[in-house]
């Protein structure tokens, strides 16, 4: 199945202007697979973070690129299968901050699809990498695709909350209303102690949602 065909009809309509770019990326990915390169995530999961329609998104959490460890990347930024052991250090830091921010959550669910099901779009800035290699698909064109995904959501939900973790994510800062955005450094071990820990992103998101009369996220 082609990459474009993995999108719902609603997303195809919303992203029509970049259809040629998605087809180009698809061609490039097929060439890599033909060379025996393992993609992360696997091709069927590249758009797994997207709900059926842009108007179902109330929060967009933006990361960097997928986990390069085989079996970790699921198509949802920061998420891994529940049986993953050990956890990627970045996700471990996310869960640590969640426990500090909202101690009552007691979440031990590392598959973050329940967040998606509540309207949280877990969007990496770059949607693919290769197993064993990080940040190798920076030049495929994914940044334009993810920019259009954010804009498609904002067209139908101008009050969407943006959570931007790290430099790659902050390139989207201008796409959100200044009063509806939460930013910090990336939760990776290299930067988490420089502003991610203690940033309380989860409670801040729920406060912003409450201000606009939207349901809080059960993190």
Sign of CA dihedral 183, 189, 191, 197: positive
Q: How far apart are the two ends of the chain, measured CA to CA in Å?
A: 33
Helix 142-156 with 19-34: angle, nearest 10 deg: 140
CB 52 within 8 A of CB 75: no
**Omega cis (within 30) before 102:** no
Q: Where are the alpha helices (DSSP H) in the chain?
A: 9-14, 19-34, 89-101, 113-116, 142-156, 167-170, 201-211
- Which residue among 5, 26, 55, 65 is the active-site one? 65
**Is 111 known to be catalytic?**
no
Q: Quote the CA–CA distance of 86 and 80 in Å, as a whole number.
A: 11
CB 82 within 8 A of CB 74: no
Token digits of residue 193? 């102690």
Q: Return the ∠ at Cα 113 (arms to 109 and 117), rounded to 5°.
A: 125
Closest-CA residue to 63 (of 186, 208, 152): 186
Active site residues: 65
């Amino acid at each position: 199945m082609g990459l474009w065909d993995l999108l719902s009809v609603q997303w195809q309509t919303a992203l029509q202007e970049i259809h040629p770019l998605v087809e180009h990326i698809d061609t490039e990915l097929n060439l890599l697979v033909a060379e025996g390169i393992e993609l992360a995530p696997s091709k069927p999961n590249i758009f797994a973070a997207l709900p059926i329609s842009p108007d179902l998104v109330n929060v967009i959490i933006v990361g960097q690129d997928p986990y390069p460890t085989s079996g970790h990347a699921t198509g949802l930024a920061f998420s891994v299968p529940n049986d993953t052991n050990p956890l990627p250090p970045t996700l471990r830091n996310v869960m640590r901050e969640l426990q500090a921010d909202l101690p009552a959550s007691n979440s031990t669910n590392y598959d973050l699809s329940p967040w998606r099901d509540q309207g949280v779009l877990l969007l990496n800035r770059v949607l693919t990498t290769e197993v064993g290699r990080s940040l190798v698909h920076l030049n495929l064109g994914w940044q334009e695709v993810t920019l259009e995904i954010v804009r498609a959501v904002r067209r139908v939900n101008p009050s969407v909350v943006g959570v931007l973790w790290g430099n790659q994510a902050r390139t989207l800062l201008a796409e959100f209303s200044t009063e509806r955005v939460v930013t910090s450094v990336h939760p990776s071990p290299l930067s988490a102690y420089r502003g991610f820990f203690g940033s309380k992103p989860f409670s801040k998101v729920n406060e912003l949602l409450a201000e606009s009369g939207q349901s809080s996220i059960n993190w």
